[in-house]
A and B are shown apart, each in its own frame.
Chain A
Amino acid sequence: MRGGGGMLTVEGLRIEQGAFALTADFEVPKGRRVAVIGPSGAGKSTLLNALGGYIEIAGGRVEVDGQDVTDAAPDQRGIAMLFQDGNLFPHLTLAQNVGLGIRPALRLTEAEMAQMRDALNRVGLAEFADRKPGDVSGGQQSRAALARVLVQAKPLLLLDEPFAALGPALRAEMLDLTSQVARDAGATVLMITHAPKDAERAADDLIFVEAGRVDPPRAVAEVMADPPEALRAYLGR
């Protein structure tokens, strides 16, 4: 598998947190949308946080788009990540929040302003640019976060259940918008989900994580048709 031209290559990754340990070895080809599924406490969030550079790893290598980013800072890894919450600064307007994705400063050039407005337009928030997160709905907050992902233009997008607090219809809408944003940006996506339906709707491949063990990705339809024993238990089939 080494050097197979994947967008994300994880080699011998080891994470140790007290009694919990996780190991991972897999590759994700460019442009794929991958659902990460598994029981609570299996290490899904830990895996994504390690890939994003937010927690220390005990060993292994992470490669994004052919670059070794194992020791790179979170903003130097070619990765954009959305968390369960805290994706927007509440004291800044949606426009400012999106602008930070272009450049970590509050003053933007004309061209950057246009880019920011275009991104807000594409997620349908043009008239909400000057509102603050607290003054818009949860769905609109998610849209603003996606607009920022759009301007960040990173090759890899990690989603740690950012839409978990939304209702089913709104969540489906956001997943569709995410797919569209990822396609427009040409980004590869790794998303944690609890709902097999979400995986079937918005993902091409599926990674199953259980008790610190990470299965390599397989096509969603294929896995769902004949789930392995542990996944079968998780799905309750």
Chain B
Amino acid sequence: MARHAQPINPWPGIVAAAFVVTVVIAAFVGIGQRVEATSGLRIAEWQAVRFTVWQALLSALLSVLLAVPVARALARRRLPGHRVLVTLLGAPFILPVIVAVLGLLAIFGRKGWLNTGLGLLGLPEVSIYGAHGVVLAHVFFNMPLATRLILQGWQSVPAEQFRMVGQLGLSPRMVFRVIEWPILRQVVPGAFALIFVICLTSFAVALTLGGGPRATTIELAIYQAFRFDFDLGRAAVLSLLQLAVAGAAAVLALWILPPIALQNGRDRAVRRWDAPAPWGDAIWITFAAGFLLLPLMSIALSGLAGLSYMPLSVLSATWTTIWVACVSTVVLLALALPMAAWLAQARWGGAEALTLLGLVASPLMIGTGWFILIYPYVSPTAFALPVTALINAMMALPFAVRILLPPMRQVFNDYGRLSMGLGLRGVSNWRIVLIPRLRPQIGFAAGLTAALSVGDLGVVALFADPDVATLPLQMYRLMGSYRTEAAAGAALVLVALAFGMFWICDAWGRRHVDG
């Protein structure tokens, strides 16, 4: 019997997946060594679990609720600056968390624009710190993401359907029922699930805006058990809790996660006949633009002013960040490309579930496990940067594989037989067929990974000693010592770095694209 011929050997992909699984299992082993050393769960742990789930639910709910009218407005109105705004909606996804927090502080913080305004009116000031601050920051990050997902859904509606609407003279309410609602029902559960899972592992936001018994996520509690008490047993128990919560959520979310689209796809202008009075849409668009742009603007303004205050440590941190991001990106490609090739050829569709392991295993959980394994033998700080680079790559893996898989399936479908007939196997197939055909997606995935790695403030905070720092960590330290101008300057460098590295990779991917 002839075996089923395949252009790419699945084994490198299986080995890559096994490597990822091994890293996670090793972390479990580390955690397992410490779990019995502690006695049960205390109230603080249950509070952390409750807050983690509650804030993730609320963040996802608010993000989606606000995204629906904004996406609806963007879908049926073309105000000046429409394209720029839709592109900017993609920005928060790669914006370093710590930078966004600084931007939000400039608007909503104690001396921010909002409180200054309230003060002028003689009203009491509001505080951004605490649970509502955490949710606000999550909505800032995820409302644009949800908006883009919903917008993509509506843009997939064929123009003919809207011509039909014009012909039948349907009211906006009928249009909502006939066209918009069915798409919402498809897109919203996926967007909600994605945001919920992302918020479950929130660390940097909780670190900067949360804290205290009523605003501590599990990830933050792990960090505190580590840094403040050096209670590895408690960190291990919390890691298990994080795993249980995120794992349960990821399994539930697995079947409804939306595909991650490249850029904003075709931003087609569809003529609509159903748009009611324009001011409602304009208000929503202005609200979204303001919510998105004001913090970004404040970063740019205060950053420029702060550039001259930056200490030399920012420079060395910048260098560290660049090489960690480069290593992360290389590791990611070495894992994601063979895995995607294996999964794209596999007839077993459930294989994609493996990639979600990256989302289930949170950075601080893996970090905790590895710390416990390493520290009896060598100083974990020596491994701070390699571990950070590896974990950053693993965190980007689910996204990268989801970006690569659909086009890779398409290539095997369209050119698999031709490749095999010509004997294009293994390395030749990668060089001559796969990489040229997948260049845009590879560039996008690499850019995303580089940007996420640049902005990451997670496991590095766990491992690093005062001499070692990535730029986000250095910025956090500057903020912690109230050197706000210097932090603002570092924020600007960080943003430039994140977007710069994303742009370089993405531009590489989009060059010479044809056919």
Contact = CB atoms under 8 A, between A and B. Distances in A.
A89 B424 CA distance: 12
A56 B3 contact: yes
8 contacts: A52-B421, A55-B4, A71-B2, A75-B420, A90-B515, A92-B436, A132-B514, A134-B515
The 10 A-B residue pairs with the shortest CB-CB distance, nearest first, are A90-B515, A75-B423, A74-B420, A91-B515, A91-B436, A104-B423, A104-B424, A86-B414, A74-B421, A54-B417
A1 B428 CA distance: 41
Contacts of B4: 55-56
B426 to A, nearest CB: 10
Contacts of B431: 106
Contacts of A58: 1
Secondary structure call for the B interface: helix
Contacts of B5: 53-54, 73-74
A100 B421 CA distance: 10
B230 interface: no
A115 interface: no
Interface string A134-162: 10000000000000000010000000000
A57 interface: yes
Contacts of B415: 86, 89
A105 interface: yes
Interface bracket on B: 20 to 34
Interface centre among A85, A89, A92 (most CB of B within 10 A): A89
Contacts of A206: none
A26 interface: no
A133 B515 contact: yes
Interface string A182-213: 00000000000000000000000000000000
Interface string A27-58: 00000000000000000000001001111111
A52 B421 CA distance: 8
Interface string B119-162: 00000000000000000000000000000000000000000000
Interface of A: 49, 52-59, 70-71, 73-76, 79-81, 83, 85-87, 89-92, 100-101, 104-106, 132-134, 152
B432 interface: yes
A134 B433 CA distance: 16
A87 B418 contact: yes
A152 B514 CA distance: 26
B422 interface: yes
B515 A75 contact: no
B437 interface: yes
Interface in B1-24: 1-5
Interface centre among B414, B420, B421 (most CB of A within 10 A): B421
Given A83-B417, A104-B428, A90 B514 contact: yes
Given A75-B423, A104-B432, 6 more contacts: A54-B417, A71-B2, A85-B414, A91-B437, A91-B514, A105-B428
